[in-house]
Structures are given as C-alpha cells and as structure tokens.
Structure 1
Amino acid sequence: MEVTDNRLFDLIRENNELAFHEVYNRYWQKLLVVSSSILQDREAAQDVVQDVFIRIWIKRRELEIENVNAYLYQAVKLRCFEYLRRNKINQKLMDRINHILHVNDVEESLNLKETQGILQKSIQSIPAKSLVIFRMSRDDAMSHREIAEKMQISKKAVEYHITVSLKHLRKLLTESTILFLFYFF
C-alpha cells in the first residue's frame, strides 16, 4: 500500500528525511517538466525545482498543505515567475549598460568616457567577493551552481553577491542618468 502525499507531509513535519525523499522522487520529474516549459532553460528549471524542495524542508514545520500536488505545482510556477521577473530586471540593466557603452554619436562619445569612469568607480565600490562572483556570472557566463561549486559557497550566497553587485550598478545608472539629463537638458 502506497503512503499518501498528505501522510508523507505529516512525516516531513516530524523531520522524516525518508518521507521527504519520497515526495521528492514522486514529484521531481513532473515539476521539472512544468518549470522547463515556463523557463525554456533546463538548468534554471532544475534550480527552481530544487529551490522549492529546499524551501519545503526549511519550512517543513510551518507548512499546512491540504493538496500536496497543487501546492507543489503552484510553488514551482511562482518560483519560475519570480526567476523570470528577476532576470528581466537584470537584462534591462545590462541592456542599459550596453547602450551607454555602445554610443556612436561624437558628442555622446565624449560623455562615454565620463560614464565609463563613473562605471569603473562604481565597479570598484562593489565588494571584492561580490565583484568576482558578478564577473564569473556575466563575463564567464557561469551558472549560479558552477560559481557556488568553484567558490565553495551556497547558491544563495552567489545570488546574494550578484544582487549586491546589481544594486551598486543600478544606483550608478540612476545617478548618472539624472546627472546626464540635468547637464544636457
């Protein structure tokens, strides 16, 4: 006789790792299919599903789940949309940086040097470890998992350091854009 999902979650709340592994094994592949169809990126999809299960284990005592199947699918969908929103913001930021760095107009190219100076100053203000991780992510196109393994830190720490770097750059872009508009208009 197979144990129900709800019974497994009761056992998970009691710190039963075998029950957790059973739920993981029952749902991993199905959730990966959903996540992959939304993200169109298998590695990111795996990260999202893994993150959902990590969160379940961390919050196991607090979870009140009536329909395990529905909960898991909804959690994966929400994490996918969070991932897409976060990456959309990151992509917009990188597009703005690329736009600033690839200006062709002569007058703007003079300002480009000033902007590059501000950008370099901002980059130098990023904490060293965050900068190394940010460059591994952007310049070397390494995944969060690859960076975590190489730096021997958690994926969450990698995400934190990239967020720190992006906040510095966002602040730079906001300030330099305001100064540019004020100066020229």
Structure 2
Amino acid sequence: MVQHLTTEEVRILQLLRHGDHHAFAQIYNQYWKTLLQMAWNHTKDQSLAEDILHEVFLKLWDNRRNYEITHIASFLATAVKFAVFNHYRKEKNRTELLHSSYRIDKFLDGDAEINRVFLSQYIAGIVEKMPDKCRLVFQYSRHEGLKSAEIAARMGISVKGVEANLTRAIKILKLNMKQDGLYILFAVELVDQLLA
C-alpha cells in the first residue's frame, strides 16, 4: 500500500529541497536512531553501520533537488538497505579481484547483474503482497511468459480482466519503487526492463 506525505513532511521536504539546514537536521534527528539500528541489524558492525548512515544522509543532502520522495521513512530505509547491499557487493568484488586473474571490466559488467538481481528480489517482495488475482496475472505474464488469452483461459476470467490486473500490478510496482526511491537508486531503464 502506497503511503502519502503528511502536510508537515511536504513542508520539510520543500525546505530541504531549497537547502534549508534546519529541515535536514529535523529529518536526521527524527530518523537516525531507527536507521542506525537497521544498518547494524544488517552488518552487526557498529562502525560500518555508522558509515552507512553517514553515506545515506550525505546522499540525501547532495541529491535533495533530484529526489522525488513520497514517504520519508520508506525512502531512507530503502537507501540504508541499498547502501548495505552496495557495501557487501564492493567487498565481494574486491576480495575476488585479489584472488583471481579476472580483468576489472568483468567486475564492472557484474555490477549491472547484481543490481538486476537486487531489484528482481525487491519486485518479488512487492508482488507477493499484491491481491491474489493481480499477483497471479503478473506471475503468469512475467515469469511463465503466457499471453493474455492464455492467462484468461487458465484463470477463468476475461482477457480485459487480465489486462486490467496486469496494468494494476505494474502501477503498484512503479508507485512502490517511486516511494522507496528506487527510480533514483537504479537506472529507470533497468526498472522498465524488469517490468516489461
């Protein structure tokens, strides 16, 4: 379910977008403890968790004019999870680089694939929470490659019903991704490719 900004959040984000340090401090003070705990839960390393939190808030400030945030808490939580994921991806690549004869460009190519896997898992998590019909139509279409008529026959609904549910599923996914900031964290092309 997509959450919407409160009037106060809208005001704070407008101030932040215009470079207001007090608005930034207000967001930081409200969320830092929860986000630090989240980073620690993923890393079990206090120093690393603090570094990740610093990185998330630094990016929030640096990109304040570019982000389209529709729910502050969800956006920041997703940013922390992605920062943790990114840290471990870089560590894995660094370790593999030290112990192998692969060239650097192999790892650069691998980054895109890791992003695709992460985003695919994120999408799967949202799909699991969709209403049954909506979820089944999306899975039949995207995972099994069935056409609308085949899905309609399998589910006992009209082709228009299939198309309506598929449209709804994609809308839910895009709204959630926009809410969680994934249209900024990932290239829009990658998102569209995974939903196509």
TM-score normalized by structure 2?
0.46
Larger RCO (alpha carbons 8 Å, 6+ apart): 2
TM-score normalized by structure 1?
0.49
